[in-house]
Structure 1
Amino acid sequence: MRELRVAVVGAGPAGIYAADILTKEYEGAHVDLIERLPAPFGLVRYGVAPDHPRIKEIIKALHRVVGRERIRFFGNVEFGVDLKLEDLRRYYDAVIFSTGAMADRELAIPGVDLPGSHGAADFVSWYAGHPDVPREWPLEAEHVAVIGAGNVALDVARMLAKPADEQLTTEIAGNVYQGLKANRATDVHVFARRGPAQIKFTPMELRELSHSPDVDVIVHPEGFEIDEASQKAINASKGTRLVVDTLLKYLEAEPTGAAHRIHIHLCHAPVEVLGTDRVEGLRTEKTELQGDGTVRGTGEYVDTPVQAVYRAVGYLSSHLPELPFDHQAGVMTNERGRVLDIDEVPLPGLYVTGWIKRGPIGLIGHTKSDAAETIACLLEDVESLPRPEITDPDAIVAHLTGRGATVVDAEGWTRLDAHEQSLGEAAGRERIKVVDRDEMLKASQG
């Protein structure tokens, strides 16, 4: 069996699943996970709200993979800074890119660039303790609009409405807690372009909105349309049925008089962010279902006074240097995971998986099946893969050291992990996340 040395650039779920599947299916495979942050796990660590402990359980399974024989972790190493494509080709038989999607997709409406208009992905990175974002976030607005009909929109709304003290059982970082403690929001308005059977909330996320006794969830009856196509969607999907049932319960419930409210507005499409020097409101157009799951505008507009707007309209992958990229779709050009050049010819030894392969859609389970497809393609290509110039597994470590990179290996991550748990233990919590990169590196070095 030919020995394979494979680099996986990006140690989020997509990259870790690829490493897991490859080493299980090919005994001669050795994988190096190369991650630009000092810690692994990508959006599971930095894209999930701190009050989602059940979702974060996936980290335990990913942790076991990172510590497995024939898999090495190289954290705090950035592709395009510490390593070039040429370097990876010299040391590895194949490279799998799994860098995910961290940027906000654009929303092209007037006023979107006003102060007080924020991308949801930036806010998520802040409250999840990402080391590369500012430590403070402006939370002076009392009335806030969230644009979007997916789980990120619900996370943002919940984090803005939920009292900060309720987060003290989680791993929330100190600066995030202090920021949320000063949050002045009382009313958060979530706007969805389509109806109750077309929104992309998951039942669990929707139910979690009401778990705080200090938050009322108010579904506004205008736009709560269920046409024939909607009923078919409800009958065909248990998840859709549960979402609609939950929305109906909120619709019928009497407000308790809680200090904070989350308003859900269906069949409202954003048209303009209002204001002169900063956000003063959001204008939406009422929409109506067309019988096929899509909507059209009615020409009737509603202005909602708000002082901040959060755009949760999707994530966007970033273009990696030296590699082909479809800027319109926001993915690396590929076919079933094989990276394609401008002539749509596969580039030998280069593969892609996760959101940068298929776009920011699907849940963790989709990521695993996606990685399996990419690995299947790689294994089909084994005999034709170009052999690396340098086969010594320690040569890449020497190369990175020569570049001046401070590499966090698996032992370093274990030390950082233990440090965060010790901070949590002192506060009666499971963990407190370290945000500052220098502090992360110091903890990883013991």
Structure 2
Amino acid sequence: MAAAMLASPADLADKAGMAADPTHRAIEAVFRIERARLIAGLARLTRDVDRAEELAQEALLAALTDWPASGVPERPGAWLMAAAKRRAIDGFRRAAMQDRKHAEIARERDDERDMSIESLEARLDDDLGDELLGLIFAACHPAISPEARAALTLRLVGGLTVEEIARAFLSNEAAIAARITRAKKAIAKAGVAFEVPRGRALAPRLASVLEVIYLIFNEGYAATSGPDLVRPPICAEAQRLGRILAGLMPDAPEVLGLLALMEIQASRLSARAGPDGALVPLPEQDRARWDQLLIRRGLKALARAEALGGADGPYALQAALAACHARARRAEETDWRRIGALYDRLGQVMPSPVVELNRAVAHSMAFGPEAGLALIDTIAGEAALRNYAPLPAARGDFLLRAGRAAEAKLAFEAAAALAGNERERDFLLARAAVCGELVR
């Protein structure tokens, strides 16, 4: 079944002719909670993501049929998994599979025929971490493009519909559905196992998972296109994925570092845009609007990452940078020298032109605009920054602070021409206009 064709619990209830009674609402809530767990276990069993999604929905339909009469089971997740697994095994038998996998699954079906739900749930709980982690690692496999990994992860692990994913990325449903379908085919072609990588394979695969989650977060935190500066719901979904991963890998410093980074950055979401939707730069934000609960969560995750020896991990370093801003009660109290030193370390751990650009910004704040201009000149020719709006925007800021308003105006105009987000473009043009007034 194609990803775009999968029905929601409400759709299935409508098809079953059910009213939205308390049992129906309870079934919807259970399915939302258990969906990723179901698909994880079923994908591991069938080695087929599409079939796993179909089986999960077949189990949901069975619940919609049975539970209104019998009541919600004491352990609804185990009930759904048992129902789905039995359908999977029956399907294998109907297809008369002759390979060893069929024999193993048939034996498992015989073993489980008379197994109590309580016993089955105990086994499922034992495997939950590995199965859910396996699904996350499969959805974020490097054989898939980053954009497709993001869409597939939101679909399988996040439980978002194709429509919701398309809305989050300002795309159309057909394009997102095609992206998800290609990702599933790539998983099948590569023979990806729905399990946690072991040994030396773990680190690069975990890096891929973290990259995808942060890509999703950034699309919400600084939308690359469209009229909105931020999209909090997609940030919240990335944070939820990060919390799931941290719960499953509580001793992985970089997982905690990423979670800390997202929590602290998300604390500023409500202050990043004014009442008219216009961008509010960090130094001008109303810090009373920053979410202190998210800051505390982020600082706690960062402390845990550092205690585990991960202080110099790329995400932990970025979280430490965000923490410098979070700890400053006023913009004037920001420790820019520490931020500059952290960027020096980050540039060694994760060298990239973008990191160097941010390092130049930090040094300009710590040591003056001329220091920033000197650093930015060393990276101006980098191919990765050729059409990157923040480069001329940073140059414009340095030039304006250095009293070179005419040059700053040209830099801000160049940045505005490269900006894909409408709010960002308006902000840059407004800064160019201010420079124009100073020149007159």
- Shorter-chain TM range is under 0.3
- TM-score, normalized by length of structure 1? 0.25
Larger Rg: 2
- TM-score, normalized by length of structure 2? 0.25
Structure with the larger RCO, 1 or 2 (CA within 8 Å, 6+ apart) = 1
